[in-house]
């Protein structure tokens, strides 16, 4: 028996609701340095403090926020420039529902078409 991953509209239940995403990436004004401690509603198990100077930790934090966050989390913890810069790596760390929802909203995140 296979697990249902979409509703009758074909939208993944693992994807954020489109109205939870920012309208524009410019809304993403999260920190770019220092240590960020995520609240329990985002990081309920394991590591909660992330040194943004450590690329591996930064990617881990962004993955957690993208997978578990809501609008207020996206704008508080994500930075637009870093999201765009790291998206080629992040998109491989996310489920299809999350990846396609973000890429459908923001052309800057879509992979370049093959030449």
Q: Three-state DSSP class for 26?
A: helix
Measured distance CA(75)–CA(9) in Å, rounded: 27
Measured distance CA(21)–CA(69) in Å, rounded: 10
**Axis-axis angle for helices 55-68, 96-105 (nearest 10):** 90
> Which pLDDT band holds residue 101 (cuts at 50, 70, 90)?
very high
Q: Three-state DSSP class for 48?
A: coil
pLDDT, tens only, 33-63: 999 999 999 998 889 999 999 999 999 999 9
Measured distance CA(58)–CA(15) in Å, rounded: 21
Distances (CA, A) of 6 to 17, 26, 63, 79, 86: 12, 30, 21, 29, 27
Domain boundaries, the chain: 26-104
Q: Measured in Å, how far apart are the chain's first and last C-alpha atoms? A: 40
pLDDT, tens only, 64-95: 999 999 999 999 999 999 999 999 999 999 98
Counting residues of the chain whose pLDDT is more than 90, the rounded percentage is 74
Residue linked to tokens 């340095």: 33
Question: What is the pLDDT at residue 115?
Answer: 65
Q: What are the backbone dihedrals phi and psi of residue 106, each rounded to the nearest 5 degrees, phi first?
A: -120, 110
């Amino acid at each position: 028996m296979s697990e249902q991953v979409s509703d009758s509209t074909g939208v993944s239940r693992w994807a954020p609701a489109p109205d939870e995403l920012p309208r524009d990436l410019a809304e993403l004004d999260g920190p770019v340095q220092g240590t960020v401690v995520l609240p329990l509603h985002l990081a309920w198990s394991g590591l909660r403090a992330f040194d943004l100077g450590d690329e591996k930790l930064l990617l881990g934090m962004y993955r957690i926020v993208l997978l578990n966050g809501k609008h207020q989390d996206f704008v508080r913890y994500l930075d637009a420039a870093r999201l765009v810069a790291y998206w080629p790596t992040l998109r491989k760390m996310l489920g299809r529902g999350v990846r396609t929802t973000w890429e459908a909203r923001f052309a800057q995140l879509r992979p370049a078409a093959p030449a």
